[in-house]
Amino acid sequence: MLIGISDLIYRYHKNSQPILDIPTWQVEAGERVFLHGPSGSGKTTLLNLLAGILVCNQKHNPGTLEVLGQPLHRLRPGQRDRWRAQHIGVVFQQFNLIPYLNALQNIQLGAHFGKGKDTKSHSHELLETLGINASLAEKKCSQLSIGQQQRVAIARSLINRPELLIVDEPTSALDAENRAAFMQLLLRQVEKHNTTLLFVSHDLSLSEGMTRVEALSDFNRAGARQ
């Protein structure tokens, strides 16, 4: 099992209503899961917990959340950041690229925190596969188009060959044609490396090619109360 959740309750403040109340949820290795739900239903919160960006304080937010068998709350913050860099790739809604660094430098920065294996040739290869040629790779990211920045963000998320790739709706700024091209590139990469994918969006038209399509409210009891 790649992701295992049981009896997870998450609230941002100790006296507030839970955003997530998940009795059980699992993802097996190799699945490509498309998770949808309305704005504000807790999708990003769940992704941040799975990436160890948010953690469950066991006193107020009990339950178990394991990725690759590792309960993330048991790691100290620095250990968690290293663990994430080695096992999980994340593409954020806003990409989070460093604007004054070029594509290659952004990717190398991601590689620095990871497993550190033959990253230079792998960076070039990934960028090439994702349609970023050598001259584009040397431009500052702030000078790239949104579609190009998105491809750099995918390359960065894959540089450490993560077992799990988490993608948080990064297509909203794109037109339909570019959205479809982005999805094709993404799926080709995860299939090639047999990466488990968790893709979150409200746009169900992006779910083609996924192995499981699920609404957060199907397994989140807090969603039923909202």
Ligand X SMILES: Nc1ncnc2c1ncn2[C@@H]1O[C@H](COP(=O)(O)OP(=O)(O)OP(=O)(O)O)[C@@H](O)[C@H]1O
Please report whether residue 18 would count as binding ligand X according to CB under 6 A.
Answer: no
Please report whether residue 170 would count as binding ligand X according to CB under 6 A.
Answer: no
Please report whether residue 39 would count as binding ligand X according to CB under 6 A.
Answer: yes
- Could you tell me if 40 and 65 are in contact, meaning their C-beta atoms sit under 8 angstroms apart? no
Owner of token pair 């690759």: 68
Q: Which of 40, 62, 99, 116 binds ligand X (CB under 6 A)?
A: 40
Q: Minimum Å distance from CB 120 to ligand X?
A: 35
The window from 2-10, 42-50, 78-86, 99-107 that contacts ligand X (CB under 6 A) reads: 42-50
Nearest to 46 by CA among 65, 73, 69: 65
Q: Which two tokens stand for residue 82?
A: 């290293």
Q: Minimum Å distance from CB 95 to ligand X?
A: 15
Nearest to 26 by CA among 158, 198, 165: 198
Q: Alpha-carbon distance 195 to 95, whole Å?
A: 20
Please report whether residue 12 would count as binding ligand X according to CB under 6 A.
Answer: yes
Q: Which of 44, 102, 106, 119 binds ligand X (CB under 6 A)?
A: 44
Nearest to 21 by CA among 46, 2, 48, 53: 46
* Identity of the residue, 41 or 119, whose beta carbon is nearer to ligand X in the bound complex: 41
Residues between 178 and 207 with contacts to ligand X, criterion CB under 6 A: 202
Number of residues that bind ligand X (CB under 6 A): 11
Q: Minimum Å distance from CB 168 to ligand X?
A: 7
Please report whether residue 41 would count as binding ligand X according to CB under 6 A.
Answer: yes
Q: Minimum Å distance from CB 179 to ligand X?
A: 16
Q: Alpha-carbon distance 155 to 193, whole Å?
A: 13
Nearest to 107 by CA among 68, 136, 72, 67: 136
Q: How far is residue 165 CA from its own chain's centroid? A: 5
Please report whether residue 171 would count as binding ligand X according to CB under 6 A.
Answer: no
